[in-house]
Amino acid sequence: MSNSTNGAFGDQKIFDHMQKFGHKKLVFCSDNDIGLQLVIAIHSTALGPATGGLRMWPYKNKSEAVLDALRLSRGMTYKYAAAGVNLGGGKAVIIGDAKTDKSEALFRSVGRMIDQQGGDYITGADVGITLDDLELIYTETDHVVTLPEHAGGAGYISPATALGSIEAMRSCVNRVWGGTELKGYRVALQGLGKVGMEAVKMLVDEGAEVIVCDVDEEKVESAVSRFGVRSVATDAIYDQEVDIFAPYALGAVINDETIPRLKAKVVAGSANNILAEDRHGEELDQRGITYAVDFVANSGGTILDTDRYRKGGFQRERAMNSVRGIHGRMEEIFSICDQQKVTAQRAAEVMAERRIREMEKVSLLSRPLTVHY
């Protein structure tokens, strides 16, 4: 699942990019009366309808938004496949500021745009989007997975995402040092959004020593006050003498500039697209740094969220047990690493691609035969 784009996205044709990475569809939606600019990217429907969160972000330009949607949608394909969920990969992004540009009309327009996709894309929560926003979208389309409990959903999924990332972290700790307890380990945690804050709580409760940073000073002050953690400037987080670097913010934070600065032996967090390019996973490996592959480590919320599509409807206990299973999936990835002598990133891709191929065979076998006379 390469994230390499060989330079600015504006220098590469959209169709070439889609063909290279196997995307099925890219939809541009605009509602001038409301000020909506929406991009929907559908990577795959091999395992089921393309599903993935809706992100609202003040992108610098439209090309940046398109690239984000394409990269994230492909990541969702691998995330669902690796997690054992029967859904394909999709993503949608709104170009706008979540703090100033939201309105009922905006989200109802988004709902209509999604409904026009005929079920090819199911949306959910991502950066800048709340359950209230999704409930507005739900008034216009049934194709929404992340919903409040009173609307038939699982409610807030951040705790499950955080738990899954901690389970992935345990697996990495076991691989490097042996054992799965996190007590006494030093963790540099980047990003104090809903998932990051949940992860801080879990780590502190377990006895880990946590250093945090975030661009939002109020969130930093809250974490320091609530959990007694230490904070550093955002750029200083990479230079900390820690055991584990835990990215919980935006992606591409493992790159040419940051890798030489890392003191940690483990990189494990919930951010999407942690590696700026696949070669950075190889560099981590060469430096003896164990990596919890992002689309596996951050799949806990997705597993919880989509449990209602399983037989019998939503069952929280079953869903949370599946989230804890992320530890075992990381162990399987490390086994593939050792057997095939590949990076963790590639091993996770192998695991996901294997399942997609197997399920495609099942799909072919289940299709009715057409007999010609």
Instruction: Name the region of 7 (left: φ>0; alpha: ψ -120 to 50; beta: rest).
Output: left
What type of residue sits at position 298?
N
Instruction: List the one residue out of 141, 109, 88 whose CA is nearest residue 29.
Output: 109
Among candidate residues 154, 124, 143, the one with its CA nearest the CA of residue 318: 154
- Token readout for 288 is 């003896």
Under 8 Å between Cβ of 122 and 144: yes
CA distances from 289 to 164, 263, 276, 369 (A): 20, 9, 16, 51
Q: Please give the order of strands across the beta sheet that includes 266-267.
A: 230-231, 209-213, 186-190, 244-247, 266-267, 290-291
Backbone angles phi, psi at 320, to 5 degrees: -70, -35
Establish whether 102 is a catalytic residue.
no
Q: Are 96 and 56 in contact (CB under 8 A)?
A: yes
> At CA 186, angle to CA 181 and CA 192, rounded to 5?
100
Name the burial class of residue 372, with classes exposed (0-12), middle (13-18) and buried (19+) by CB atoms within 10 angstroms of its CB.
Answer: exposed
Report residue 275 as tokens.
Answer: 């590696």
CA-to-CA distance for 84 and 199, rounded, in angstroms?
23
Q: Is the dihedral of CA 2, 89, 141, 156 positive or negative?
A: negative
Q: How far apart are CA 339 and CA 7, in angstroms?
A: 33
| Beta strands at 230-231 and 244-247: parallel, antiparallel or unpaired | unpaired
Rounded to the nearest angstrom, the gap between the alpha carbon of residue 221 and the centroid of all alpha carbons in its chain is 26
Phi then psi for residue 244, to 5 deg, are -130, 130
Set 20, 24, 79, 91: catalytic member: 91
Which residues participate in catalysis according to the annotation? Answer: 91
